[in-house]
Chain A
Amino acid sequence: MMDETSEPATARCPGPSVQDYLDQDSRPVPPALRYERNDYLGSEDIDTARFTSREWAEREMRQVWRRVWQFACLESEIPEVGDHEVYEIGDDSLIVVRTAPDEIRAYVNVCLHRGRKLRTGGGNVSEFRCSFHGFTWNLDGTMQTPPCAWDFPHVTPEKFALPEAQVATWRGFVFINMDPYAESFDSYRGTFDDYYIWPLENRYKSLHIAKVLPCNWKVAQDAFIESFHVIATHPQMLTWLADANSQYDVMADQPNWNRMINIQGAPSPHVADSVTEEDVLETFYDSRSFYSAAQGRDLVMQEGDELPAIPPGGTARQVLAARMREQLAATSQQDFSQTPDTELLDAINYLLFPNFNPWGGAKSNIIYRFRPNGLDPDSCTAEIIFMSSPKQPGETPPPAKIRWVPEDTLFADIPELGVLGPVFDQDCENLPYVQQGLKAMRKPGITLANYQESRIRHFNQTLDQWMSR
C-alpha cells in the first residue's frame, strides 16, 4: 500500500547522477548500464522479526530456501565425473556431483536406511557408500543391492533411489532448487541476463573467503546492497566515491533481481564542494597503496612513481580509468581499449534472489554470498569470491579452495582482498550491533530510505511473497 503522506519517490540527490557520469564516459557505454528504472514500492517499515526470530528462520527455510534457485557451487570445482561438493542450507544437505562429462545432479545427502549423512565434504568417489552400514548408491542415484539383502526383503532398489534437487548451470555456476515443481531457472532469472553482461564463464575463481558473522544473513546482505552507509561507515572513501548519487534499479515486475551502480573516482556529494580533482586522484591511490594488485582489482602505483597528472580541464576519473585500462591490459593480455570508464572503476552490484550477489565490470568480479548458518537467526555465513581473468586467455587455473576466516581474524589480514579487506571489516563492525539493536529497539520495524534503500525493500518484498505463497 502506498503511504499517502510521503512524497512520490522521485526525489534524488542533488548533483550529477550516475547517468550524467556515463554521459561523460570516454568510451561508449553498453545499453545494459544506460538502463535506469526504480519502481516505487512503498515506504512502510520492515518488521524486525524476520531478522531475529527463530520461528521466522525455520519458516523461511520451508517457504523460501526449499523452493528457490540458489547458488550451490562452481562447475570448475567439480570438473571430473564423481567430483562433488556438499551444499548445505539450514538443515538440508545436498551432494552436488558431476555424473557425466556434461551432467551435474544434486542428491539428498542422506542414507535412506538409518539417516546418516553420506558425505561430510567434497571429493571424488565412484559411488556413495554410507559409513554406518554400507548402503551404497551409484552416481546415477540408484541403490546397489543392500548389505545383508536377505534382511531387507522390503527394500527394493526402485524404492530407494536418492531423492534429487533440480540443477541448472549459468555462466560456470551451479544452482540448485529443492522444489520439483519450481519454475525453470531460465524463467526465474527474468531479464537478469540482459543486464548482467560479463562473461563469468571465462574467468576462474582466484579467491574464496568465508567467515561466520554474528548476525542474520539478511542483516548482512542488506548492508552490502546500498551505498547510503558510506557516509558513516566508510568516511575515508568520501573523497573518491560518489555515494548518495548512486543509481538503484528495482523493477516491480522483476522480483528476482535488482542492481546498483556506484560511481568511483568522483567525490561524494557530501564533500564535493571542498574536494579538488587532485584530491580525488590522490586519495583514490592512497586507499589502495597498502595492498598488492595480485587479484586484478586495485589500481596500484609502483614504488617511487609520481601521481599521474590531470590534464587541464580533465578529471581524476578519466585519468584513473586510463590507468586502470593500462594495468588490466598488462596483467591479463586482453584488450581494454574499448572498455568504458564505468566498467573499469565503478561498483556495479547485482542481487539475484535470494543470495547470488555478483559485481559487474572488467576488473575481477566479486561475488558475495550470504546465507543462514543452520537455523540460527543470529548468525550467518558470509563468503567473498573473486572471479579473475586468467593471465593468458584460454588458461583455466584451478579454482581457489574456500578459506574460513576465524571469528577473531580481520578481513584486513587477508592481503589478497586488497582495499576490500579493511572496508569489509568496517561493514562487519556494524553487523553484531544491528543484530543486538534490533532486539532492543522497541519499534516493530526498521525504516528505509525511499530510493537509496530501495533494493532492500525490493528484496524483502520478494522474500515476503515467498513467505506467504
Chain B
Amino acid sequence: MTHRVAVRPSGVELEVLDGEDVFTAAGRLGYRWPTVCGGKGTCRTCFVQVEEGAENCSPVGPLEREGIEALRRPVDGLTRLACRLRVEGPVTVTKRGVRRRVQE
C-alpha cells in the first residue's frame, strides 16, 4: 500500500509506503531532499508545510515537536519534519529544493 505525496512547487509526486517517512521515500525514489543530519530528526532542515491532507499525517512525536518549536512554528500539524512524517492517505506539501538526484 502506498500513498501519494505531492511536493510543491516542483510538482514531484512520491509514492510513500506504509510506515515509511516522506524523507526516506524521497531518497528511495531518487530525489534529493534538503537535510544536514540525514534523517535523524535533529537538524530540522527537512521541514515542510502541509497544504492538504493534514488528516492523513501521523501524529507529532516529542523529538519532532522539539524541532518544530525550534523553527518557531506552531505545532498545529501544518509544519512537519519530513523525516518524521508518515502518511495514511494523499497529502500535499510545500518544500523548496526537492529535486531528482543528479546521476553520478
Contacts and interface: CB of A to CB of B under 8 A. Distances in A.
A129 B66 contact: no
Q: Is the interface of B mostly helix, strand, loop or mixed?
A: loop
Interface stretch (A118-126, A153-161, A254-262): A118-126
B29 interface: no
Given A124-B62, A126-B40, A134-B36, 5 more contacts: A124-B63, A126-B41, A127-B42, A134-B43, A136-B42
Interface in A114-143: 123-129, 131, 134, 136
Nearest to B70: A131
Q: Is the interface of A mostly helix, strand, loop or mixed?
A: strand
B37 A123 contact: no
A129 B42 CA distance: 6
Interface in A189-246: none
A397 interface: no
Contacts of B37: 127, 129, 136
A241 to B, nearest CB: 44
Contacts, number: 26
Contacts of A136: 37, 42
A374 B54 CA distance: 43
Contacts of B66: 123
A147 interface: yes
A123 B62 contact: yes
Contacts of A127: 37, 40, 42
Range of interface residues on B (Cβ < 8 Å): 10 to 19
Contacts of A123: 62-63, 66
A299 B43 CA distance: 52
A125 B41 contact: yes
Nearest to A130: B42
Interface string B11-50: 0000000000000000000000000110011110000000
Interface residues of A, number: 11
Contacts of B70: 131
Nearest to A124: B63
A125 B66 CA distance: 11
Contacts of A128: 42
B43 A125 contact: no
Nearest to B61: A124
B81 to A, nearest CB: 13
A136 B43 CA distance: 10
A107 to B, nearest CB: 15
A136 B40 CA distance: 11
A128 B63 CA distance: 12
A126 B63 CA distance: 10
12 contacts: A124-B62, A124-B63, A125-B40, A125-B42, A125-B63, A126-B42, A127-B42, A129-B42, A131-B70, A134-B36, A134-B43, A147-B36
Nearest to B37: A129
A143 B43 CA distance: 15
Contacts of A147: 36
Contacts of B40: 125-127, 129
A131 B68 CA distance: 12
Contacts of A129: 37, 40, 42-43
Interface in B44-75: 62-63, 66, 70
Contacts of B43: 129, 134
Interface in A55-88: none
Most buried by A among B36, B37, B40, B42: B42
Contacts of B36: 134, 147
A270 to B, nearest CB: 52
A147 B63 CA distance: 22
B72 to A, nearest CB: 12
What 8 A-B pairs have minimum CB-CB distances, sorted nearest first?
Answer: A129-B42, A126-B40, A123-B62, A127-B40, A127-B42, A123-B63, A131-B70, A129-B43
A196 B51 CA distance: 59
Nearest to A131: B70
A394 B33 CA distance: 46
Contacts of B42: 125-129, 136
A258 to B, nearest CB: 40
Contacts of A131: 70
Nearest to B65: A123
A125 B62 CA distance: 10
Contacts of B62: 123-124
B23 to A, nearest CB: 14
